[in-house]
Structure 1
Amino acid sequence: MLYQRPATPPKLSGAEIRERFLSFFEQRGHTRLPSSSLVPDDPTVLLTIAGMLQFKPVFLGQEARKLPRATTAQKCVRTNDIENVGVTNRHMVFFEMLGNFSFGDYFKSRAIQMAWELVTQEYKLPAERIWVSVYEDDDEAYSLWRDEVGVPAERIQRMGAEDNFWASGPTGPAGPCSEIYYDFHPERGTSDASLEDDSRFVEIYNLVFMESNRNADGTLTPLAAKNIDTGMGLERVAQILQGVPNNYETDLVFPIVSKAAQLAKLDYAKADKRQKTALKVIGDHVRAVTYLISDSVTPSNIGRGYILRRLIRRVIMKGRLLGIQQAFLPAVAAVAVELSRTCDAAVAANAQRVYDELAREEKQFTTTLEAGEKKLAEFLSAAEAGSKTVSGVDAFVLYDTYGFPLEITQEIAADRGLQVDAEGFGAEMQRQRQRSKDSAKVVDVTAASALNSLAERVGATEFIGYTDLTGPSTVLAILRSGEAVESASVGDSVEVVLDRSPFYAESGGQVGDRGTLVDPEQPSTSGGASTSSIAVRIDDVQKGAGGLLVVHSAHIERGGLRLGQKVHATVDALLRRRIRANHTATHLLQAALKQVLGPDVSQQGSLVTADRLRFDFNLPQGMTADQTARVEALVNGWIQESHEAVTRTLPIAEAKAAGAIAMFGERYGDVVRVVDIPGVSMELCGGTHVTNTSQLAAFRILSEAGIASGIRRIEAVAGPAAVEYLSGVDGIVRSLSTQLNSKPDQLVSRVAGLAEQVKQSQKELAQLKSQLALSQAAALAAKAQALPSGVKLLVSRLDGLDAKSLQDAAIQLRDQLADPAAVVLLSSPEAGKVSIVAAFSPSVVKKGVQAGKMVGGWAKLCGGGGGGRPEVAQAGGRDVSKLPAALEAAQKQLTEALG
């Protein structure tokens, strides 16, 4: 479109537009509130996508209102239209939503009047350029705009529910919307004008009138307290007031775009369409990733971490398309940080973390990018020669092995007129998820219906296991292979549901208890003998029916079980003691990690068993030996100090206010259980724990390693498991001392000396192999074939050499035969594998015959692959029997290429 700059509006900066909005509503009784985090306190959404999200509990009636009116400038991230970013004038992943809200205070008339006053008087947008949409049945809003505000009827359009009706869900608060549009081309007149014509109109302000409640049958009834929720796109208003053709060229984004153009050695004004699109994507996405990292999101392969990683990788890919080969993310992020100062002061405070995270992610991605780009090129070439579609399997290989998000593969393929089988990709993803699920212990899914029905009848299982490890119970349900049965007998493996249970069901990372069910008249003590007529072994305990029921995996060893039967349940106390020691140790471990590594470290997952604990946490790089030692020392210090561990239940708001740490991603009820080790740790946790840290006896870290980008894992032992581990280590030390005839304190130096001897022997062996290879190679020189082109060609096999020795021999032969030029291909089968090395003279390479491009094809005949530089390349294969055929093919191909 040909853009026409408005005649009268003042040219305001983005910061001035934001401040005028907030001040305007402050002057009209609204409380200015800060932007909430991009990580919402709402399990239904991954990221903050609208200004109303922080007020959602009030709108839904879940919380009482704290004030009647509010106004905010909310940072938001949406990825639903990511493919349109940079392509259209206004689609963005990151944007600011300016909003004013009424919680049962003013309603339609006042909201409409203030909106009109804001856009026409505060921002001075020409009234004749303002159009309005209303819900098709909202006669009241139509009349207010036409009769009270004075908008001509021809500039008011009625629209359907898809565009102009908001609902919180299938049931709950709902209401019509009214949207304000700016007209870039009033000269086109009003006849047949459509607000969906984005070449002419842009929506700048949306007013939602929450006036109804949608019932289960779909009917609407009036709400007693009616609310107002509005949203104005800051970047869209900036585009208008700054007289630029799109959101990306406003002062909110363009400095980032300019920095990217500078790094790409481009003049934005002279860039072509594709280059400008890439620069716009960088400008938008860099804002998004900067704010996301500042709000403690770290790159990963799941959830919001995956969204962040996906955005970062899109920026890197767009940069490479522009010719930026060096690391550049921190440099462009520095501009975003500077721009953030009037929006979110925390970003500047967190700047170093932003730069470090981006630098690490960029380095990691670029290490696999080159290999991935080669593989992508292969897939694209195959698609061009065939179906014009990259298969779902190939797209998944790019994602799983090389880190290419599906969207990036689709974009690059689209540039070459190709498609990607997204459905096939999804099937591969599902198969991978299923493989992960297959290894997890869960209650048989076929039992879900029976368990849900039972929970509706009897309610939740009463858990008595915090205080009692044994007690009477009644059998409420027996399931065999997922089907409800009335009884079970000796030898049967079944799931059993009791009315009350001392068994802890697996949750929060803690494994389920084990134990027994016996006659109530003759209960056995844990580990003791019993003369009970029934003996049921409990091997595992899980939750069912959405967590309401405790489901016991049981094996009947004596007697039988029937519905309604009275039993006595007993938990294996020794096993529970070991588990709870390891669980309390995870709390101490998290507290120690925060002290040593910083407060941003938080739990990302855990597993607590009787034998050991596993703790996953966010950290962009591995821990040093000193950090690991300090963490271990802190935990052992707290154990020796004998801190009490107190558990209590509190309202969740009170628990969080007291400083209790919530597990990331967990959902909690209104009342929570808090495990408090005063002065050390306070966490929300439903697991079982010791009553004093001294009961842990000792703590030892076994390993620390990365399990995903930005996620580390510590495995450790505590309590009896730690004592057993240390006893085992002591036994190993004693045995080594005897075998090496050294005292325990001399073992390190003794082993180091032995290692040096082995290293020296290996070095000598390698030298001997190299000498053997050179000796054998010298004898091959006479076998070289002199081609008509003057190039000497040698294709031969040398047995018993490793790849390094083979390469040395090939290079020596090439140099020896190069008068004027030579091509040498040597191969060696060793330990059931094939090594192939090619060495070409520089003059041969100049003619277009390159070792790196050819050697992989010959190795492929042996079930392998490889490549390398044009002059020297190396490959390998797994099928030694195919080596003669590979050498014959190489001889023929090289003779043709060189002759």
Structure 2
Amino acid sequence: MSSNPQNLSGNEIRQQFLNFFAQRGHQILPSASLVPEDPTVLLTIAGMLPFKPIFLGQRTPDFNRATTSQKCIRTNDIENVGRTKRHHTFFEMLGNFSFGDYFKEQAIAWGWEISTQVFGFSPNNLVVSVFEEDDEAYAIWRDQIGVTPARIKRMGADDNFWVSGPTGPCGPCSEIYYDFHPERGDDTIDLEDDSRFIEFYNLVFMQYNRDAEGNLTPLQNKNIDTGMGLERMAQILQKVPNNYETDLIFPIIQTAAKIAGIDYHSSDEKTKVSLKVIGDHVRAVVHMIADEIRASNVGRGYVLRRLIRRVVRHGRLIGISGEFTIQVAETAIALSESAYPNVRQREAAIKAELQREEANFLRTLDRGEKLLEEIIQQVKQQGKTSISGESAFTLYDTHGFPFELTQEIAEENNLTVDAEGFRKQMEIQQQGGRDAHETIDLTLQGSLDKLAEHIHATEFLGYTQPTVTAKVEALLVGGVAQEAAEAGTEIQLVLDQTPFYAESGGQIGDRGYISGDGVVIRVDDVKKESDFFIHFGRIERGTIRVGDAVTAQIDRACRRRLQANHTATHLLQAALKKIVDEGISQAGSLVSFDRLRFDFNCPRALTAEEVQQVEEQVNTWIAEAHSAKIEILPLAEAKARGAVAMFGEKYGDEVRVIDFTGVSMELCGGTHVSNTAEIGVFKIISEAGVASGVRRIEAVSGPAILDYLNVRDKVVKDLSDRFKVKPEELPERITTLQNELRTSQKQLDVLKGQLAIAKSDSLLQTAQSVGDYQIIVAQLDDVDPESLKTAAERLLQKIGNGAVVLGSVPEAGKVSIVAAFSAEVNKKGLQAGKFVGAIAKICGGGGGGRPNLAQAGGRDASKLPEALTQALSDLKAGLS
């Protein structure tokens, strides 16, 4: 027990909580990763999540009692971070858990004991709540603990009935609140008043199971799940006005304030909010990267990228112009390393990820903020209060400017953003991708749903049997169930058993034939829906009927290609981990007949030497002839042996493990060679980036190598014939031709410029006087953008004090506009960049540049005369 309970550090609070329950038979367990084992959850959001399989009865625990300090991430209330006293994205949840052991009476007694005797809270400062129908908990608090009835509040299901979802384990809960102002009396207790009360400990009594109809039945084992917010406890015990000013977060805030050259306590409220956001988010990103999350545009990677960008954005708001995230991260690492040593171990990775993301976003921010500023000004000038969804989408899609950031900046300017319009624009863009990847239409899915009650699930036998005798369970034509179909018809078949592998895990479906009494069906693809394998094919001859007995046979040559390429992806991942970075993980793959594609998380491009080393390593393993060992194991055992699983992939209780001993061990349902020697040879075709933090390798292996070489050989022979040189002389010949082409292009550019100047000289006589200024606005036909710029600069030199705006249509459907302004024109408030950008919008384009010289483009050439007329009018108005 602490001798000074009212002055505990965050670390001391955490340790005293764990010690208290360890002394009462609880197993202290380390915090689980922020990347949960449950593939249905993006991030670890609660202390109970690691124990979800136990609460659901899916796993038998090794102990009946446990206690943890679990790091959590939640972003559902991200807009409130920094604005309220207690909202966070990253927080720690202290918890004690009972798996069918003690229940309400003991949980409540210990909850009161740790609050009053360990943390030293006076009973006068505590108020408790119970579920309105939970008379048992109410009686325990009143009769056994001795809490005054006036300080026990019955609450409805929204506040005091905990559920894990629409169905599953659930139960009433009881919460303990700290009362900052007990002197106000018991007659005015309103637990919604967060200026007086703060809930710091929640005791959940998991005693029911809820079914689909909402009925509650008692669980066989009653469980306890509790959560005490570490940050909230620190606020209370350290006597600070909010969670951010505790020793868990405030040192990070002070570091950011020092970099910005400001003082937190003397800052205005807006600045304090930005500092709090930085303090909170930096904790989150440090722990996320420490748990091997990398920034990307999808899933948890997007959450990380969004948080980093919000840190950078709020840094800009408080006056930090350069890179600073690494400095504040150093403070966060120092604060966390005693409880979470992995943050120090991953320090280099944390800093590298932050530096890269911050540098990239600063460039995006510069471009996006300028464009958004123009949009905001236009909206205000038009008397509107909302930025259109189209404008927000253009910022996002074309310039990479986050939609959430557009919303934040709009709010700072008392504007809103049309989120629904943005969503519609996003759907329009994505529709093509969805159409291209649609595998089973709604009609087919609906037919399958109806048939599911009457047909058997497909049994897959293709790991060991290339040919199977089967029965036709269902026949569909155009997605509609039929009893029979004839030759020439495109059909979908469901069999009771099949040798055909259905597209899964990146591997495409098998090809082959289904034949029967007088009927032959060519199978071009196989996909899986629920428990059914759908064979897509065409009837070559005969008639097929539901109930027919058939023989299903895969194309063995195609299967061998798939086996070689799929096994090669396993070897490739192992080689990347060995040679490039052990932390590399799969981000996607494609295994087809002619090639393989492997996407992986990596923050940088591979060097040419690394690519060569990876290729050589894979070929070495192939030559060493490693045999495959394939086992079905419990998921926990497979992971304990070191089998690699893919994040986001959902696995059952038992998994298929593909083990090439000493080389690669992965969880995989695909088809593979029995020995690496069967692959033959492996060749990397390309290595490139496909998204921020995601790289892609394309390669070929096995029989596909010959196809690859034949194509290349044909190309080389063709080029040799054309250039009349030997194959080995091609590089030198091509270099010579490139040099000649560059020389010719330079000469052509000079001639174009001279022609444009010659054309422009004739425009001097069209110059108009506006006071002391000369202006020229004209169209020069068939002049490229660079030459147009040269002509504008020359004309400005000749007229001296004035402005030149030239337009051209250098090629069909494109518009080029240049503006050149003298210094005197700039002093009148006219800037070439803004001016030409506004004019170009008439032609469906945009652009900008320096105050004295700028270029813009457009897509509607028919609008160029109108744009130039507007330019002349605006110049006259601006210079009058």
With 879-888 and 105-114 compared, the bigger mean Cα shift is at 879-888
Query: For 2:96 and 2:631, how far apart are their aligned partners in 1?
Result: 40
With 118-127 and 821-830 compared, the bigger mean Cα shift is at 821-830
With 82-91 and 144-153 compared, the bigger mean Cα shift is at 144-153
Q: CA deviation at 1:763?
A: 2.4
Q: CA deviation at 1:215?
A: 4.4
What residue number does 1:525 align with?
A: none
What residue number does 1:523 align with?
A: none
User: Is the 2:807–2:817 contact (alpha carbons within 8 Å) kept by the matching residues of 1?
Assistant: yes
Determine helix, strand or coil for the equivalent of 1:38.
coil
Query: For 1:671 and 1:143, how far apart are their aligned partners in 2?
Result: 45
Change in Cα spacing, 1:725 to 1:24, as seen in structure 2 (3 Å) is same
Q: CA deviation at 1:871?
A: 0.9
With 809-818 and 722-731 compared, the bigger mean Cα shift is at 809-818
Where does the alignment leave 5 or more consecutive residues of structure 1 unmatched? 1-6, 521-532
The amino acid of 2:181's aligned partner reads H
Q: CA deviation at 1:486?
A: 1.1
| Superposed CA offset, 1:771-826 (max 9, x none) | 444455455445533432x22222234444332232233223323432xx222223
- The alignment's TM-score, normalised by the length of structure 1, stands at 0.94
What residue number does 1:759 align with?
A: 742
Q: CA deviation at 1:217?
A: 4.7
What residue number does 2:372 align with?
A: 376
What is the alpha-carbon root mean square deviation over aligned residues?
A: 2.1
2:344 pairs with one of 338, 344, 348: 348
2:8 pairs with one of 2, 12, 27: 12
2:868 pairs with one of 884, 887, 899: 887
Query: For 1:105 and 1:647, how far apart are their aligned partners in 2?
Result: 40
| Superposed CA offset, 1:394-418 (max 9, x none) | 3333333333443332222222222
The amino acid of 2:690's aligned partner reads I
User: Is the 1:254–1:283 contact (alpha carbons within 8 Å) kept by the matching residues of 2?
Assistant: yes
What residue number does 1:314 align with?
A: 310
1:62 pairs with one of 44, 58, 65: 58
Change in Cα spacing, 1:839 to 1:519, as seen in structure 2 (3 Å) is same
The equivalences for 1:164-243 within 5 A come to 164-243=160-239
With 723-732 and 710-719 compared, the bigger mean Cα shift is at 723-732
2:265 pairs with one of 264, 269, 288: 269
Q: CA deviation at 1:8?
A: 8.4
What residue number does 1:662 align with?
A: 645
Change in Cα spacing, 1:896 to 1:427, as seen in structure 2 (3 Å) is closer
Where does the alignment leave 5 or more consecutive residues of structure 2 unmatched? none
Q: Does 1:688 align with 2:668?
A: no
Q: CA deviation at 1:387?
A: 4.7
The amino acid of 2:506's aligned partner reads G
What residue number does 1:863 align with?
A: 844
Seq. identity, % = 56
With 367-376 and 710-719 compared, the bigger mean Cα shift is at 367-376
Q: CA deviation at 1:182?
A: 0.6
Q: Does 1:822 align with 2:802?
A: yes
Change in Cα spacing, 1:404 to 1:771, as seen in structure 2 (3 Å) is closer
1:325 pairs with one of 298, 311, 321: 321
Q: Does 1:127 align with 2:123?
A: yes
User: Is the 2:685–2:698 contact (alpha carbons within 8 Å) kept by the matching residues of 1?
Assistant: yes
Determine helix, strand or coil for the equivalent of 2:187.
coil
Q: CA deviation at 1:740?
A: 3.3
The equivalences for 1:673-712 within 5 A come to 673-712=656-695
The amino acid of 1:252's aligned partner reads L
User: Is the 1:14–1:251 contact (alpha carbons within 8 Å) kept by the matching residues of 2?
Assistant: yes
The amino acid of 2:515's aligned partner reads V
What residue number does 1:108 align with?
A: 104
User: Is the 1:32–1:70 contact (alpha carbons within 8 Å) kept by the matching residues of 2?
Assistant: yes
Query: For 1:794 and 1:422, how far apart are their aligned partners in 2?
Result: 43
The amino acid of 2:65's aligned partner reads R
Query: For 2:178 and 2:213, how far apart are their aligned partners in 1?
Result: 38
1:394 pairs with one of 391, 394, 414: 391
What residue number does 2:602 align with?
A: 619
What residue number does 1:812 align with?
A: 794
Query: For 1:326 and 1:410, how far apart are their aligned partners in 2?
Result: 23
| Superposed CA offset, 1:685-726 (max 9, x none) | 111112222222222222222222111122211112122112
What residue number does 2:77 align with?
A: 81
What residue number does 2:511 align with?
A: 514
Q: CA deviation at 1:322?
A: 2.1
User: Is the 2:456–2:496 contact (alpha carbons within 8 Å) kept by the matching residues of 1?
Assistant: no
Determine helix, strand or coil for the equivalent of 1:342.
coil
2:632 pairs with one of 645, 649, 659: 649
Determine helix, strand or coil for the equivalent of 1:556.
strand
Query: For 2:805 and 2:701, how far apart are their aligned partners in 1?
Result: 58
Query: For 2:455 and 2:818, how far apart are their aligned partners in 1?
Result: 73
Q: CA deviation at 1:423?
A: 2.9
What residue number does 1:529 align with?
A: none
| Superposed CA offset, 1:521-555 (max 9, x none) | xxxxxxxxxxxx212121211112x1x11111121
1:849 pairs with one of 820, 827, 830: 830
What residue number does 2:477 align with?
A: 480
Query: For 2:565 and 2:87, how far apart are their aligned partners in 1?
Result: 50
Q: CA deviation at 1:623?
A: 1.9
Determine helix, strand or coil for the equivalent of 1:29.
coil
Q: CA deviation at 1:246?
A: 0.4
User: Is the 1:369–1:402 contact (alpha carbons within 8 Å) kept by the matching residues of 2?
Assistant: no
Query: For 1:797 and 1:406, how far apart are their aligned partners in 2?
Result: 38
| Superposed CA offset, 1:256-315 (max 9, x none) | 111222222222111111111111111111111111111111222222122222222222
Q: CA deviation at 1:85?
A: 0.9
What residue number does 2:431 align with?
A: 434
- The alignment's TM-score, normalised by the length of structure 2, stands at 0.96
Q: CA deviation at 1:445?
A: 2.5
Query: For 2:213 and 2:731, how far apart are their aligned partners in 1?
Result: 76
Query: For 1:804 and 1:215, how far apart are their aligned partners in 2?
Result: 71
The amino acid of 1:568's aligned partner reads T
| Superposed CA offset, 1:560-609 (max 9, x none) | 11111111112122222222221111111111111222111111111111
| Superposed CA offset, 1:70-97 (max 9, x none) | 1111100111211111111011111000
The amino acid of 2:474's aligned partner reads A
Query: For 2:234 and 2:662, how far apart are their aligned partners in 1?
Result: 50
Query: For 1:93 and 1:174, how far apart are their aligned partners in 2?
Result: 25
Query: For 1:739 and 1:403, how far apart are their aligned partners in 2?
Result: 44
With 383-392 and 18-27 compared, the bigger mean Cα shift is at 383-392
Determine helix, strand or coil for the equivalent of 1:191.
helix
User: Is the 1:443–1:543 contact (alpha carbons within 8 Å) kept by the matching residues of 2?
Assistant: no
The amino acid of 1:897's aligned partner reads G
| Superposed CA offset, 1:417-436 (max 9, x none) | 22223233333334444332
Query: For 1:162 and 1:251, how far apart are their aligned partners in 2?
Result: 33
Number of positions where the alignment pairs a residue of Structure 1 with one of Structure 2: 876
Q: Does 1:600 align with 2:583?
A: yes
User: Is the 1:8–1:126 contact (alpha carbons within 8 Å) kept by the matching residues of 2?
Assistant: no
The amino acid of 2:457's aligned partner reads A
What residue number does 1:534 align with?
A: 519
1:717 pairs with one of 687, 700, 714: 700
Determine helix, strand or coil for the equivalent of 2:186.
coil
